[in-house]
Amino acid sequence: MSGYRQSARLTALLAGLLCLPLAAFGRILLDTSPAPPYQIEQEGRISGTAVDTLDCVFRAVGLPYEVRVVPWRRARFNVQNGLAEGLFSAMPFAEMNQYATLSAPLALEKWYWFGLSERLLYDESFPLGRRLGGVLGSNQSGWLAERGLALSEEVTSVGQLVSLLESGRIDAFLADIHTVNQYLRDQDPGPLIYSRFEKYTPLGAYFSNDFLRARPGFLARFNGKMSQCNTETVQLSAVELGKLMRLVEARLLPVARSTEVISAVTEANRFRSDISAEEIRQLDGKWVRELETGTHELINQVQASRLSQYLQVVEAKEAELFTEILVMDRVGLNVGISRVTTDYWQGDESKYQKVFPPGGESIFIDRIEYDASTGKFQVQVSIRLHDATTSEAIGVMTAGIDVEAMLQE
């Protein structure tokens, strides 16, 4: 009888093990396809910026994983049919959303049109009626097909697209600027190619929904480590930074130096001259509770101020560019806001800490952030505020800029 019970237990245990996902036995299996500089296959090894980010995240969450290089279509098939737990790097695909969930961005693709004529690229009718090229199976080719833009030529690499451009067989092609720049750096001399910004595209890792159901909490942990690991592709390029600085000088510095901003911050500093750390903590807690309960006493007080009304007008005039504007006093508390912030005290955030303390930057530009709910890419610009007479630092103004809108102007 005891032998029978033991056999039954063993049978039940084996049945249970057969129902476990592959990842429960060890490494999490992810499929990928070469896409320099994000995924590069060399001598049987896979590397690249997306691979580096992925490795950093998995080390941070303390889980083993394995990467397998397969064709892109095979990778999607494997995830859909339980032959792999996930794939990377992928842009959002409606078809894949039916059986898998996309992570926070591992990398940020910057899509530009490339051609030999700047006039052609900036023609009002472009790209309609032009001979376009693309990489077979690429994110860009799929995106163009969804919009009814037929490709005259489809090849297997960016290098072939450049050759088609030089030979006159295509007028332009759409590609990630990181990938094109990497190819052109190896050409000596390289062709003179013009570019025009089209859009940013977040690239993440798709994990099968079956895997995520078996690992509750995994995706939240994975996404939570992304910001500390994804540091390379979310930075502005030199060209993008130059354009942003011209916008800051022309449209933000006049606001930061305005009488409305300086006088309101000066008054706030005078009113809070002896505020304690405990009082700051209590005010910040009150703000957060008001957001949770909907009783906006302190929030309404700040929103109704003359400075907040001024900032709302400034933002409305640049509605396509500015996503938010807030002004802080010397301790990092809100003085004026164009939109309600999640906190009242900003003193523990980079927007304040990188600018106000002695030795800080007079202008600090943060990394690009992607808001999945709106599909927008924002960068925050923080400017140190100075007393008009003494030049003493008195506070900070931070503005959120829609980077895509800026580059498309």
Whether residue 182 is found in the same domain as residue 86: no
Which residues, including other chains, have CB under 8 Å from residue 269's CB and lie 6 or more apart? 329, 330, 394, 395
Whether residue 265 is found in the same domain as residue 189: no
- Over residues 50-54, the mean pLDDT reads 92
Whether 14 shows a pLDDT value over 90: the answer reads no
For 343, the domain range is: 238-408
First to last CA, the chain: 81
Tell me the residue ranges of DSSP E strands in 81-159.
86-90, 100-102, 107-115, 132-135, 153-155
Smallest CA-to-CA distance from 406 within 255, 248, 258 is with 248
Whether residue 254 is found in the same domain as residue 213: no
Whether residue 128 is found in the same domain as residue 251: no
pLDDT digits (tens, 9 = 90+) for 241-280: 999 999 999 999 999 999 999 999 999 999 999 999 999 9
Give alpha helix (H) positions in 215-344: 218-224, 226-229, 238-247, 253-256, 259-271, 277-293, 297-303, 306-317
Whether residue 134 is found in the same domain as residue 190: yes
Residue ending a domain, choose from 193, 228, 263? 228
Whether residue 91 is found in the same domain as residue 128: no
CATH at residue 336 = 3.30.450.20
Smallest CA-to-CA distance from 298 within 284, 312, 281 is with 284
Residue 319: band (very low, low, confident or very high) from pLDDT cuts 50, 70, 90: confident
Looking at residue 237, the DSSP 8-state letter turns out to be: P
Whether residue 293 is found in the same domain as residue 388: yes
pLDDT digits (tens, 9 = 90+) for 64-100: 999 999 988 899 999 999 999 999 998 888 889 999 9
Whether residue 89 is found in the same domain as residue 212: yes
Whether this model's pTM surpasses 0.85: no
Instruction: State whether the Cα torsion 120-126-130-133 is positive or negative.
Output: positive
Smallest CA-to-CA distance from 85 within 116, 62, 111, 64 is with 64
Residue 32: band (very low, low, confident or very high) from pLDDT cuts 50, 70, 90: very high
Whether residue 285 is found in the same domain as residue 167: no
Whether residue 310 is found in the same domain as residue 376: yes
Residue 190: band (very low, low, confident or very high) from pLDDT cuts 50, 70, 90: low
- Over residues 141-148, the mean pLDDT reads 89
CATH at residue 216 = 3.40.190.10
Domain count, the chain: 3
The percent of residues above 70 in pLDDT, for the chain, comes to 92
